[in-house]
Amino acid sequence: MEKLNDPALEHVAAFFRAMSVPLRLKILNALRTGERNVGQITTELACSQANASKHLAILAGSGLIEKRQSGTSAYYRIRDPRIYELCDLVCGHVGERLGRDIALHGMFAQAAPAPRRPARKAPAVKRKRA
Amino acid sequence: MEKLNDPALEHVAAFFRAMSVPLRLKILNALRTGERNVGQITTELACSQANASKHLAILAGSGLIEKRQSGTSAYYRIRDPRIYELCDLVCGHVGERLGRDIALHGMFAQAAPAPRRPARKAPAVKRKRA
DNA sequence: CTATAATATCGTTATGTAGTGATATAGTCA
DNA sequence: TGACTATATCACTACATAACGATATTATAG
């Protein structure tokens, strides 16, 4: 990594950015056991169809997953299972760091770091933001 | 990673987020050969002191680096060198993907993905944003 | 062609954040 | 003590983007 020029570094950063959203990690996780279409992801992860579609597109654009169209359905699958090695590496690392005494798959549910609030609260006020 | 609850997933995502900014990758890279103080980072990476300080703080907050105060200087160092294994893994992955024919440390400078524009263009217009 | 179903996309809002210049804070030395 | 140095922090702007609801697009079935 030492010898990377700026565009290359941007690609590496973009890769990490693709993995930096919980819902996308959940999607990758769901694809562990095989390909899924958008509807299945929407159901399994209990998110909106629009959101699932968007994040799947982002993951595909980042080269993490691949799309296969079949009729009106779009099936997505992991492009390279080595991604999971990476995830597990990070999980181990993170697990070590926070809660040296708490197992990673246990529940360290006390210290949620900024729970990603749900956005959109006021219905429509047309730019009030004073 | 399969068994992670939401707070844990957020931590993993936060880890990836910390690595998702080119300047921060450069900082980690600069720390490969040993600890550096803020001034050295500022000089080596040709960035502003404020920016260097901020990103160092972010990396420290994410647990990727550690701070050691010495007089007026603040020295930062890598907390766990295994980070670099991870970086190299990703670099290899990214390198494979874009430009199967171009070496990673070579120059694939043609396809810069969103060059991260410099922000701040107009000096001050006081909320015009119509 | 029409209806239906599955996805993708659009317009919106709220929020996060990288970078900047200016300033505050703290340690060192005369 | 005051000047100097190193770092941290502040206020700000520009921009990116996650989530939403609504709509457009596309393919299949009848």
Q: Cβ contacts of residue A27 below 8 Å, gap of 6+?
A: A41, A45, A52, A55, A56, A59, A65
Interface subset of B 1-60, CB within 8 angstroms of A: 1-17, 19-22, 25-26, 29, 32
Model confidence at A100, pLDDT cuts 50, 70, 90, reads: low
Q: Cβ contacts of residue A119 below 8 Å, gap of 6+?
A: none
In the block, residue with structure tokens 């930096």: A20
Using the structure, give the distance in angstroms from the CA atom of B56 to the C1' atom of D10, rounded to a whole number: 17
Residue A108 has pLDDT above 90, yes or no: no
Q: What pLDDT score does B32 carry? A: 96
Average pLDDT over residues A77-89: 92
Distance CA(B40)–CA(B47), nearest Å, equals: 10
B56 touches strand C (CB under 7 A): no
pLDDT in tens, B6-37: 889 999 999 999 999 999 999 999 999 999 99
Q: Which residues in chain B have their CB less than 8 angstroms from residue A98's CB?
A: 11, 63
Model confidence at B126, pLDDT cuts 50, 70, 90, reads: very low
Average pLDDT over residues B72-100: 87
Partner A contacted by B86 (CB < 8 A): yes
**Mean pLDDT across chain B, nearest whole number?**
80
Q: Which residue would you say has higher pLDDT here, B39 or A114?
A: B39
Calculate the CA dihedral of residues B104, B107, B113, B114 and round it to 10 degrees: 140
Using the structure, give the distance in angstroms from the CA atom of B120 to the C1' atom of D16, rounded to a whole number: 14
Partner-chain residue, chosen from B86, B107, B112, that has the shortest CB–CB distance to A10: B112
The backbone torsions φ and ψ at residue B63, rounded to the nearest 5 degrees and listed phi first, read 85, 10
Q: Which residues in chain B have their CB less than 8 angstroms from residue A26's CB?
A: 9
Helices (H) and strands (E) in chain B, counts: 5, 3
Distance CA(B34)–CA(B53), nearest Å, equals: 17
Q: Which residue would you say has higher pLDDT here, A123 or A4?
A: A4
Q: Which of A126-130, B38-42, B103-107 has the highest mean pLDDT?
A: B38-42
